Chain A
Amino acid sequence: MFCEKSIELIRELQRMRDGQLPAFNEDAVRQVLEEMKALYEQNQGDVNEAKTEGKSELIPSIKLRHCCLLRNQRCVAAYLYDRLLRIRALRWEYGSVLPPNIRFHMCAEELQWFNQYKKSLANFMRSVGGEEGLDITQDMKPPKSLYIEVRCLKDHGEFEIDDGTIILLKKNSQHFLPRWKCEQLIRQGVLEHVLS
């Protein structure tokens, strides 16, 4: 059956949850391209024969192959484009440096696309609203004006809070800090939320 491999590519992504990037299926893409080459060459031959020898009975199979060619093209493009959307989302999730296990799943051209995307986004953010620019990958959640009690799990050094005060994050010290300022440190395991 024609187009089986290309449907496999689509299925592969559909099985994945949003945000997951499976390894680039170079093998399947190559096989689809090979099938397309074969279909095209057969059609070239049949078209010539149909023209020179007037074999109109060849026309249906030419049409069928052509439909398969279009379908293959469409599936491969959809596969590649959907992966780009996932890769784009990674920039927003991880920042401009991707973890090695994710890079490992990308092909060389995808890495190029990612680097160019990073550059375009950085240019955009630098030029927004005058000289200063604005990093719009920050402030993803509304700020909270609330404070929480946290305990320091390891030495982290100096830390500036919203009113400009600098505090020293020393192991086992306890602090009363703006929640949105600590969220990242809590995720990193530097602080823990003390529940009273």
Chain B
Amino acid sequence: MSDALSDGGSDHDDSQEDVMTPVELIAKLEEAWLNEKFSPDLLENKSEIVECVMEQLTHMEANLQRVSKGDTKASVHRMEIDRIRFVLSSYLRSRLQKIEKFFPHVLEKEKSRADGDPSYLSPEEYAFAREYLANTETYLKAVALRHMPPNLQSVNMMKAVPEPCLDSFVFLRVKERQDNIMVEPETDDQREYVVDLEEGSQHLMRYRTIAPLVSTGAVQLI
């Protein structure tokens, strides 16, 4: 169950897609949806999940075209399609909102990514983020910056737009046991300490502490 797809962003091995059943695919989509909803930072893209789910939906819709109208079975399928499409849209919306909110940082992270590291943005998201940046820069320039003194005609977007706050607290459920997770002190008179995250347990802690565990799938944000 250890992520047939989670490392798929960089790796196009068809045999990996084959091992995932539609049931697992939908479960993966729902995990990705909740993680993205609750994570303060943009997570790695799961375009392969998105594509597979879209394929499933398209395929099912095509089958339904052939079914007679008013059929009970068809109405059950349509209800399921509506549910899956909602999760998929909501997932993509959460990502797009974060891309818009943090666009200079998101683009910078993508640029400074080492070869072979998974890409944070899907190609469509990358195109969107670049257009958003260019559009916003053009706008600020046209309305105000070009009328300002020569030394003030640009704004450093990296400084101007807030970056994701990795110190935000998140709620999580543990899927794979983790030992010795370091908890940083909140105040000067506290000491750091370690906690064990047992399988099935739930916790409230800073996102920064457990961010790597979200991307490996060891914990689920809730």
A–B contact, 8 Å CB criterion (strictly below): yes
Residues of A within 8 A of B (CB): 29, 33, 36-37, 40, 69-70, 73, 76-77, 80-81, 84, 88, 107, 109-110, 112-113, 116-117, 119-121, 123-124, 127-130, 132, 134-136, 138-143, 145, 162-166, 180
Q: How far is the CA of A140 from the CA of B70 in the complex (A)?
A: 26
CA distance A135 to B145 in the complex (A): 35
- For B149, list chain A residues within 8 Å (CB): 36-37, 40, 69
B78-A134 in contact (CB<8A): no
| Interface SS, B side | helix
Are B139 and A112 in touch, CB under 8 angstroms?
yes
- From B19-27, B124-132, B166-174, B210-218, give the one contacting chain A: B124-132
Pull 9 A–B residue pairs with CB atoms less than 8 Å apart, ordered by A. Answer: A80-B143, A109-B143, A134-B92, A139-B82, A140-B89, A163-B78, A164-B64, A165-B69, A165-B70
CB neighbours of B67 from chain A (8 A): 164
Q: Which residues of B contact A163 (CB under 8 A)?
A: 69-72, 74-75, 78
Bound CA–CA A116/B149 (angstroms):
28
Q: For the complex formed, measure the closest distance between the CB of A85 and the CB atoms of chain B, giving whole angstroms.
A: 8
Using known A-B contacts A36-B148, A143-B79, A163-B69, determine if residue A123 contacts B127 with beta carbons closer than 8 Å: yes
- CB <8 Å contact, B128 and A121: yes
Q: Does B196 contact A (CB under 8 A)?
A: no
CB pair A162–B78 under 8 Å, yes or no, is: yes
- Evaluate contact between A124 and B85: CB separation under 8 angstroms: no
Contact B135 A113 (CB under 8 A): yes
Q: Does B107 contact A (CB under 8 A)?
A: no
Quote the shortest CB–CB distance from B85 to chain A (angstroms): 6
Assess whether B144 is interfacial by the CB under 8 Å rule. Answer: yes
Q: Decide yes or no: A132 and B54 within 8 Å by CB, A36-B149, A117-B135, A164-B70 being known contacts.
A: yes
Q: Which residues of A contact B79 (CB under 8 A)?
A: 143, 145, 162
A162 to B152, CA, bound (A): 57
* Distance between Cα atoms of A81 and B135 in the complex (Å): 12
Minimum CB–CB distance for A89 against chain B, Å = 10
Q: Decide: A132 and B58 in contact? CB cutoff 8 A.
A: yes
* Candidates B53, B72, B89; contact of A136 at CB < 8 Å: B89
- List of B residues within 8 angstroms of A84 by Cβ: 136, 139
CB distance from A129 to the nearest CB of B (A): 3
* Contact present for B69 and A73 (CB under 8 Å): no
Beta-carbon contacts of B71-104 to A below 8 Å, as 1s and 0s?
1101100110011011011101100100010000
